[in-house]
């Protein structure tokens, strides 16, 4: 199993797909902050002209308030991709004033549950979806309710910013604690996470692999919690049957971070790597840059280099 060769091929394809602007598109079209951040993370260990262009473009896409949009020319108020941009800046040691501004933007109250009126509404009127509104995270765009993936990425970004000394404030620690409470509150009854809630209209929802994996990465310090352990077991059992390289890559990233949880996780990690490489054998035919980047990051994580892992 030649992981190094597979990663090299993925990197070559990402470089070939880079746009003249230094960015990456979503399936080759409009400049995508998500794809650009993931590609930058995938390439960040190898200084190059392409990486320098990517960082220049990423800095240029930042809004005046410290946030990032989803696409170039998009909403100037910013969105969830700000967390990915923070992770890319940290990984590439871009510690200019752009990083503190982005962290401060992430710390602002942006979801409905942060307001007492919405908390009251969720408890009394709009209660078809059961969750604790005092436990909230982050949304895809400001002014809406909390979702699992934006919350998980923001937790990881803020924790990495704190651990590297960029922001050690009590505000950050308290905000992350509330957000982790939200993730723990919304675990699906059988383990894992759906995109938002575990139960809707009294019906248990099925977990999604990418949401489950990213939430597990954010909850690494809470690995002994029963709901987290159940979610990891669900993920380990689901990975071998996954037909999607994107979802499988996220699953392997989470398993790599949790490999000390038991032999089944470690064994599944290496067999999953073999299966993932089979899924992307025709790498040049892939036009989804996010899939290419996450796959490269997953294969590197199996070898101990996980850009999303939180050290405990």
Residue 296 region by backbone torsions, left for phi larger than 0, else alpha for psi between -120 and 50, else beta: alpha
d(CA 298, CA 249): 5
Flag whether 189 is in a domain: yes
Q: What is the pTM of this model?
A: 0.92
Flag whether 305 is in a domain: no
Flag whether 199 is in a domain: yes
Domains identified in the chain, total number = 1
Residue 164 CA from chain centroid, whole number = 19
Flag whether 118 is in a domain: yes
Flag whether 201 is in a domain: yes
Q: For residue 68, give the CATH number of its domain.
A: 1.50.10.20
Flag whether 311 is in a domain: no
d(CA 64, CA 83): 16
End-to-end CA, the chain:
30
No. of H helices and E strands in the chain?
Answer: 13, 2
Flag whether 16 is in a domain: yes
Distances (CA, A) of 75 to 65, 256, 259: 12, 35, 39
Q: Exposure string (b/e) for 152-190, b if CB count within 10 Å is 16 or more?
A: bbbbbbbbbbbeeebbeeeebeebbeebbbbbbbbbbee
Instruction: Identify the domain containing residue 284 by its residue range.
Output: 3-300
Element (H, E) at 199: strand 199-200
Q: Per-residue pLDDT tens for 41-99? A: 999 998 999 999 999 999 999 999 999 999 887 767 899 999 999 999 999 987 677 89
Flag whether 80 is in a domain: yes
Q: Per-residue pLDDT tens for 251-289? A: 999 999 999 998 999 999 999 999 999 998 887 677 799
């Amino acid at each position: 199993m030649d992981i190094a060769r597979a990663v090299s091929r993925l990197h070559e394809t990402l470089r070939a797909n880079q746009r003249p602007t230094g960015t990456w598109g979503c399936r080759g079209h409009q400049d995508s902050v998500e794809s650009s951040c993931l590609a930058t993370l995938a390439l960040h260990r190898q200084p190059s002209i392409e990486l320098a262009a990517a960082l220049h473009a990423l800095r240029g896409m930042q809004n005046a308030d410290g946030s990032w949009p989803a696409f170039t020319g998009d909403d100037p108020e910013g969105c969830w991709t700000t967390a990915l941009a923070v992770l890319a800046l940290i990984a590439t040691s871009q510690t200019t004033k752009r990083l503190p501004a982005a962290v401060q933007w992430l710390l602002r109250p942006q979801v409905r549950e942060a307001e007492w009126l919405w908390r009251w509404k969720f408890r009394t009127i709009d209660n078809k979806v059961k969750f604790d509104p005092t436990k909230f995270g982050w949304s895809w765009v400001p002014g809406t309710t909390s979702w699992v993936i934006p919350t998980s990425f923001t937790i990881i970004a803020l924790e990495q910013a704190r651990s590297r000394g960029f922001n050690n404030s009590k505000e950050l620690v308290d905000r992350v604690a509330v957000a982790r409470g939200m993730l723990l509150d919304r675990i699906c009854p059988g383990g894992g996470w759906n995109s938002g809630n575990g139960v809707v209209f009294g019906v248990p929802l099925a977990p999604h692999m990418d949401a489950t994996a990213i939430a597990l990465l954010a909850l690494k310090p809470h690995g002994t919690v029963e709901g987290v352990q159940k979610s990891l077991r669900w993920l380990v059992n689901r990975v071998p049957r996954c037909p999607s390289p994107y979802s499988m890559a996220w699953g392997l990233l989470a398993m790599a971070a949790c490999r000390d949880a038991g032999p089944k996780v470690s064994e599944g990690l290496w067999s999953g790597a073999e299966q993932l490489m089979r899924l992307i054998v025709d790498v040049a035919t892939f036009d989804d840059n996010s899939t290419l980047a996450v796959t490269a990051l997953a294969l590197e994580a199996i070898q101990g280099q996980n850009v999303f892992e939180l050290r405990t």
